[in-house]
Structure 1
Amino acid sequence: MSSLEEIELEVTTRGDVQSDRTSASPQPLSDSHQNGMTRSQAWNLYVSHFLSTWNIRTYEFAAIIFTAAAYPDTLIASSIRGIVRTLASICFSSIVGRWVDHAPHRLKTLSSTISVNRISVISAAVLWFFIVRGNTTQGSLESTSSITRDTMFGLILFLGVLETLSASGNMLSMERDFAVTAAGPDGQPYDLTHLNSVMRRIDLICKLIAPILISVIVSATSVQIGVVIVGAMSTASWGVELLCAKRVWDLNPRLRVLKTIEIGDSSTLLQSLPPSSSCHKISQALCRYGQDFENYFSSEVWIPSMSLSFLHISVLTYSATFITFLLNAGFSLDLITIARAAGSIVEISSTVVTPIGVHYLSKTKGYGRLRGVVTRTNEDSEDSGVGLLERFPEQQTATEAGLERLGLWGISWQLLNLLPVVLALWSLSPETTTTTLPTIISRILGPIAPQPLLAFTLFFFLSISRLGLWIFDLTTQQLTQTMNPASQRSSFAGVEYSFVSLFGLAQHVVAIVLHRPEQFKWIALMSLGATAISTVAYAGWVWKMRGHLVHWERIGKGCECVKVRLRHVR
């Protein structure tokens, strides 16, 4: 066998491994399978995803308001709720992902996550209703005793864990299984790049509008009515969401094919223990949990995933920590709100830029490696058109190359634009970081910032850096979708969610340790360092996969063309 045939066989085998190995029968699928997703399927998918995301984002913000109303004189309840949700995500996200991977029926899996999420939100809304009513009624101690209130809050914490895990399961099932399987081939109107971009656009719009809407409702009416509306929205959307998901499943033959569950060999330790013993069950759970992390780090695409997760340790975003510092530093709430809205618009624009960028960069002919195989081509040779590259699955390879290149552009864009942000934060004078209550209140009510040029530099570059972040997020998401075996997509993403929560928790710990406003510049510098580390790690991975970062030969040709033109001008 020639070396060329060996390379072809290697790539074909790899494509078979990475394809969705879910066929329950050798029967070929219908023409709709070959033609990809239709417009009707796509819109039903978008509606189902919108309703899920809208309810998740609404309750996520509404629960903060409800907690503040239930415990108005302390931050302990809010902190406990945040810690419980974060720890649940760290500990159980990979387990949820493994469950999504091993569940054979895609529609039942997605429907289960939707139903559990709605039941937990509706049940929590009922409990919130009685807690809030007790706090707003005269003689609240008679209506709702402290013990009863704390008991109901404990139940809400448990329901919050279910809500968090079911929301993660919904995203994993929809983004890593449902959408990947239903998407059309690369280059078609509803391919995976298009679906990911639209679904992320829906998520970002809901993230922007849902908190504003629930705030307006609570401000115009009362917290009690806000609780009722949140529960009513979850109840009303439940059936519609299930119906839209079922319609996509009915119209797409690939979704209806049951997944094949692969069961690995048991370890020697597990075989030596009685199957019914508690030690066996605990050891089995721990082994599976460890296996998820082992599969994660053995994946070809774990470095981009870890680079994206590591960015969540940064405070250089419009988070509660950063906004609190800005208020202490003298920036008005009005200005911060406008800047945050501008940043959201930039984030949404990334969902438009990404498909265009992937399409453009996928057309660029590559120099270097394709998945570890040297594939240098000569653009000036006609024979190169029928050379080695034609023996690869060209469309898929080109799309992955475009994703890798655009991802590098995205994270580099973010890093470069955060440099002026950090410089601006270091330029804040010590006098602007006083923390007295009257000063903070005056700045909340103040219309402008004390240093206009500094404010423009800070907010402009911070906002446009969000474009690079979300481009990198979208490209990394699709790389992890397509470069992992179908049987490990969701468990891989579950481990990624665990790291995201872990680094998010680390961000808050750092903010607690360096809690003084004048120390925030060091947190900002560490955030910039974290972004730089992610950029270098991802660039190294691209170098390994592509064999290059910059087409120096093209730059050389461009310089030669410039020299020739200058000679003609002279």
Structure 2
Amino acid sequence: MILNNHHKLYLSHALTSWVDRSFEFASYLLISKIYTSSLLQSSVYGLTTTLAALVLSNQIGNWINILSRLNTYRVTLLVQKISIVVSTVLFYYLFVLNTNNNDGNVKDSSRTLHGSSNGLYAVIIVLGCTLKLSFIGNSIAIEKDWAFIISEGHLEVLLPTMRRIDLVCKTVSPIFVGFLLAAPSHLIATIVICAWTTVSAVVEYILVSQIHNDVPALHSRTPYTPPTPTTSATPTESEHQEQEEEASAPVSLREYIHHKTFLITLSVGMLYINVLSFGGTMTSYLTMIGYSNSLLGIMKAVAGIMGVAGTYAQPLLSKRIGNVRTGLWSIWQLSLTLSLVLIAIANKAHDTPTTTSVLLFGGVAASRLGLWMFDLAESLILQEYTSSSHITSITGWQYSMCNLFDLLQYVLTIVWSDPAIFVVPASISVGVVVAAAGVYTGFVWKDRGHLLHHIKLK
């Protein structure tokens, strides 16, 4: 079977997503196993990595515009895989070190062990920063630039498929990691993750190199214009020069704030102040209150299935009411379902364990439907409303916006790090998500002049 460029891109994206989602879930599980009494350590890890992304995301977007496409991919791939392999080894050593310390099986003094533990954890945090930055660079390059060129500007099929691949990896990898970490020895998990990461890096590089060789448009750094009947196939030298100058001019913060997509990206960013997902913070919280790794893996898989369903529902709904109004319906669905999760946490002491678990896991899973519908609708709107010469820079600013609000999520759980008062950051999260829905509603009103439209769903 010969793979075309779309299939090669899908396979490469699947490998990247699998490794990243597996390590993301494993890292927070390991942190919660090593530091069992507080959310502080997992919050510091998330805070620091997000801060790095906040400060440098826009620079990464601009850097992608300067470096050749293949070299951009090479650098991000290499940094990403090395960061995962080294972090996995250090996590294993840190786990062994803390286990031996707790069991009294080492001769070192407590102070020496504590210093070694903190030093290793500091290195893991630094590697987490490089991993996050390389993943951002890879995502911007592949999803916003390469995909647009490979599809010749027609992202209606390619982008939803890539979203589904990402969600399938989110769905299956936590189950795999949950059972992997349940093994008697964490050495097995370390070997498997490191080996898979290495093999994945080789296959990904081969696939993307083949795509680069097959698509001549990827060889040039000039902004890509999809071919049309009225578009010249060979731009003149002066047109090339103008395109290169336009490509090298990044979008300033002032221009970004006044861009017509600003309110959309603001609403997306606000969704990141949300501890009520199966991200690192809530995974640590649920582990601390007694849920098993395997159960969390399964529940995260259910939530992922709902997200996959969202990627199928979004195109169907968009055909009826358009991307803008699809985004409106989906973000309000997200707000309502997260309210159920808040109710479960607030009434945990009074409701039965079954009622709490149904509301908690059911609410989070249902919210993934709205979240991924909104995410896909927003991506298509951003691509539609932004010129190809500005898309990577605008996306860089959006990543910075998202990381700013993601940073505040970790601030919440640093200030309220006791799992017993998790209801406080949970309440703030729901309030901000509702506010994000209000911001997006404002964009719809400004863009369309109305909120509801008389179109019957058939």
With structure 2 as the length reference, what TM-score do the two structures score?
0.80
Aligned to 2:323: 403
Describe the superposition over 1:451-474 as per-residue Cα deviations: whole angstroms up to 9, x where unpaired. Answer: 655654554444323211110011
Q: Which structure 1 residue ranges, 5 or more long, are not aligned?
A: 1-37, 186-190, 267-287, 362-401, 433-448, 559-570
Match of 1:471 among 367, 373, 377: 373
User: What is the CA-CA distance between 1:54 and the residue it aligns to?
Assistant: 1.5
The answer (yes or no) to whether the contact 1:66–1:223 under 8 Å persists in 2 is no
The answer (yes or no) to whether the contact 2:146–2:218 under 8 Å persists in 1 is yes
Task: Give yes or no for the alignment of 1:48 onto 2:31.
Answer: no
Task: Give yes or no for the alignment of 1:107 onto 2:73.
Answer: no
The 3-state SS of whatever aligns with 2:386 is coil
The residue identity in structure 1 corresponding to 2:132 is T
User: What is the CA-CA distance between 1:310 and the residue it aligns to?
Assistant: 0.3
Aligned to 1:240: 203
User: What is the CA-CA distance between 1:113 and the residue it aligns to?
Assistant: 0.8
Cα 1:507/1:163, change in 2 over 3 Å: closer
The 3-state SS of whatever aligns with 2:81 is helix
Cα 1:498/1:302, change in 2 over 3 Å: same
Output aligned runs, 1:159-170, within 5 Å: 159-170=127-138
Aligned to 2:216: 253
Cα 1:471/1:71, change in 2 over 3 Å: closer
Task: Give yes or no for the alignment of 1:116 onto 2:113.
Answer: no
User: What is the CA-CA distance between 1:74 and the residue it aligns to?
Assistant: 7.8
The CA distance in 1 between the partners of 2:96 and 2:285, in whole Å, is: 34
The residue identity in structure 1 corresponding to 2:6 is A
Task: Give yes or no for the alignment of 1:156 onto 2:134.
Answer: no
Describe the superposition over 1:102-140 as per-residue Cα deviations: whole angstroms up to 9, x where unpaired. Answer: 32x222212221122123333444555655566677647
The residue identity in structure 1 corresponding to 2:260 is E
State which structure, 1 or 2, has the greater radius of gyration over its C-alpha atoms: 1
Match of 2:165 among 198, 202, 214: 202
User: What is the CA-CA distance between 1:505 and the residue it aligns to?
Assistant: 2.6
Greater Cα offset, 340-349 or 120-129: 120-129
Match of 2:316 among 351, 356, 368: 356
Cα 1:450/1:152, change in 2 over 3 Å: closer
Task: Give yes or no for the alignment of 1:84 onto 2:48.
Answer: yes
The answer (yes or no) to whether the contact 1:69–1:223 under 8 Å persists in 2 is no
The residue identity in structure 2 corresponding to 1:408 is L
Aligned to 1:182: 150
Cα 1:214/1:414, change in 2 over 3 Å: closer
The CA distance in 2 between the partners of 1:539 and 1:303, in whole Å, is: 9
User: What is the CA-CA distance between 1:240 and the residue it aligns to?
Assistant: 0.9
The residue identity in structure 1 corresponding to 2:133 is L
The CA distance in 1 between the partners of 2:35 and 2:418, in whole Å, is: 26
The answer (yes or no) to whether the contact 1:116–1:162 under 8 Å persists in 2 is yes
Cα 1:239/1:298, change in 2 over 3 Å: same
The residue identity in structure 2 corresponding to 1:262 is E
Task: Count matched residues.
Answer: 430
The answer (yes or no) to whether the contact 2:182–2:294 under 8 Å persists in 1 is no
The CA distance in 2 between the partners of 1:63 and 1:94, in whole Å, is: 26
The residue identity in structure 2 corresponding to 1:342 is V
The answer (yes or no) to whether the contact 1:292–1:495 under 8 Å persists in 2 is no
The residue identity in structure 2 corresponding to 1:91 is V
The residue identity in structure 2 corresponding to 1:464 is A
Task: Give yes or no for the alignment of 1:547 onto 2:449.
Answer: yes
The residue identity in structure 2 corresponding to 1:406 is T
The answer (yes or no) to whether the contact 1:420–1:457 under 8 Å persists in 2 is yes
Identity of aligned residues (%): 30
Match of 1:58 among 3, 8, 22: 22
Q: Which structure 2 residue ranges, 5 or more long, are not aligned?
A: 223-242
Output aligned runs, 1:379-528, within 5 Å: 402-422=322-342, 428=347, 431-432=349-350, 450=352, 452=354, 456-457=358-359, 459-513=361-415, 523-528=425-430
With structure 1 as the length reference, what TM-score do the two structures score?
0.65
The 3-state SS of whatever aligns with 1:486 is coil
Aligned to 1:346: 306
